[in-house]
């Protein structure tokens, strides 16, 4: 449940309720808005059944939260969250573009990509050092060697870097080199991995699972948030349907649904959603139009020889064209790149 305080409630009143909640063995999460403070109660609320909280000083009302996800819920946190990744803010009036190769293949490949995407307007460099592939014979990534190249690229360009992690060992290595962790679609419900990512202290990008509902996705984010890590960004990357014309089916409607249900920022990955280079640009425009907080776009110096996902990767020139094309769309939606 949540306790909604009256406008301009006194700090003493808020502290009194918070202390009572914690004394009864529950967690109190305070969200201070511009005018109203909300206290979220997480745990067995029957421990408070002998307390008539509505008559406490400065309490406006009590609201029951029926959804199983609490910390990700907009009822708990009415103000949209802004997640800081290095010097970049995801959420608010910014449209953040993450770009880079699906897989880090070499130092030269990554550094060339980092300089190109920064010149075009990207704010975060993405790259895969650990690659969970459908086939065990496909390229699996350079692992820690790739992470070292990402750190070098950050030092040369100033771009924060993000990398997918697939295990506790990967997390322990990645935290030494990157600014943000990514949990891929195949691991969205790997609850142990989610909890360990939450404990890392780094911001986490959580991709939607291949066939996950939005509620399942938000519950997955709850595992990260419940470890005391509030810096979670959601990423819609398409879901599996009967359609075969694209790699997955991009659920554009997920953006307004998430905005209504949750305070977490949400970005869209049109590259993985379609698997087809020609469809990336129009779907990027659509993502901006429905209010996404950012985009994740795959780029490669030479997609024809990429070791992973070449058909959906843009060349440097195509990526620059995309950024220039979506700038006016972003401005119309009140976002800046």
pTM above 0.85, yes or no: yes
pLDDT of 141 reads 73
| Positions in the chain short of pLDDT 70 | 133, 137-140
pLDDT of 133 reads 64
pLDDT of 33 reads 77
What's the CATH superfamily of 2-63?
Phospho-2-dehydro-3-deoxyheptonate aldolase; domain 1 (3.30.70.1140)
Delimiting residues of CATH 3.30.70.1140 domain(s) in the chain: 2-63
pLDDT of 93 reads 93
Tens digit of pLDDT for each residue in 97-131?
999 999 999 999 999 999 999 999 999 999 988 87
Delimiting residues of CATH 3.20.20.70 domain(s) in the chain: 83-332
pLDDT of 251 reads 97
pLDDT of 107 reads 95
3-state secondary structure labels for all residues of the chain: CEEEECCCCCHHHHHHHHHHHHHCCCEEEEEECCCCEEEEEECCHHHHCCCCHHHCCCEEEEECCCCCCCCCECCCCCCCCCEEECCEEECCCECEEEEECCCCCCHHHHHHHHHHHHHHCCCEEECCCCCCCCCCCCCCCCCHHHHHHHHHHHHHHCCCEEEECCCHHHHHHHCCCCCEEEECHHHCCCHHHHHHHHHCCCCEEEECCCCCCHHHHHHHHHHHHCCCCCCEEEEECCECCCCCCCCCECCCCHHHHHHHHECCCEEECHHHHHCCHHHHHHHHHHHHHCCCCEEEEEECCCHHHCCCCHHHCECHHHHHHHHHHHHHHHHHCCCEC
Q: Which CATH class is domain 83-332?
A: alpha beta
pLDDT of 137 reads 64
């Amino acid at each position: 449940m949540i306790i909604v305080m009256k406008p301009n409630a006194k700090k003493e009143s808020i502290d009194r309720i918070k202390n009572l909640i914690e004394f009864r063995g529950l967690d109190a999460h305070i969200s201070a808005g511009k005018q109203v403070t909300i206290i979220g109660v997480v745990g067995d609320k029957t421990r408070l059944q002998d307390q008539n909280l509505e008559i406490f000083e400065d309490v406006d009302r009590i609201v029951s939260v029926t959804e199983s996800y609490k910390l990700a819920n907009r009822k708990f946190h009415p103000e949209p969250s802004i997640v800081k990744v290095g010097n970049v803010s995801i959420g608010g009036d910014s449209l953040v573009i993450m770009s880079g190769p699906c897989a880090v293949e070499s130092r030269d490949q990554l550094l060339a990509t980092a300089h190109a995407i920064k010149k075009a307007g990207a704010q975060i460099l993405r790259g895969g050092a650990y690659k969970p592939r459908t086939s065990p014979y496909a390229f699996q990534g350079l692992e820690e060697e790739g992470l070292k190249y990402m750190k070098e690229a950050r030092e040369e360009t100033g771009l924060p870097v993000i990398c997918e992690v697939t295990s506790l060992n990967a997390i322990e290595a990645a935290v030494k080199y990157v600014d943000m962790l990514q949990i891929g679609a195949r691991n969205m419900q790997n609850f142990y991995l989610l909890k360990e990512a939450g404990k890392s202290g780094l911001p986490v990008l959580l991709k939607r699972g291949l066939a996950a509902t939005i509620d399942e996705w938000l519950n997955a984010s709850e595992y990260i948030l419940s470890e005391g890590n509030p810096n979670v960004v959601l990423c819609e990357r398409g879901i599996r349907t009967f359609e075969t014309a694209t790699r997955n089916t991009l659920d554009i409607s997920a953006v307004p649904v998430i905005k209504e249900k949750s305070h977490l920022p949400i970005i869209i990955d049109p590259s993985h959603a379609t698997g087809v280079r020609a469809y990336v640009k129009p779907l990027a425009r659509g993502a901006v139009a429905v209010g996404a907080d950012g985009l994740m776009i795959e780029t490669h110096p030479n997609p024809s020889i990429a070791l992973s996902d070449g058909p959906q990767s843009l060349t440097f020139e195509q990526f620059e064209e995309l950024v220039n094309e979506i700038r006016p769309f972003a401005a119309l939606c009140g976002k800046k790149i």
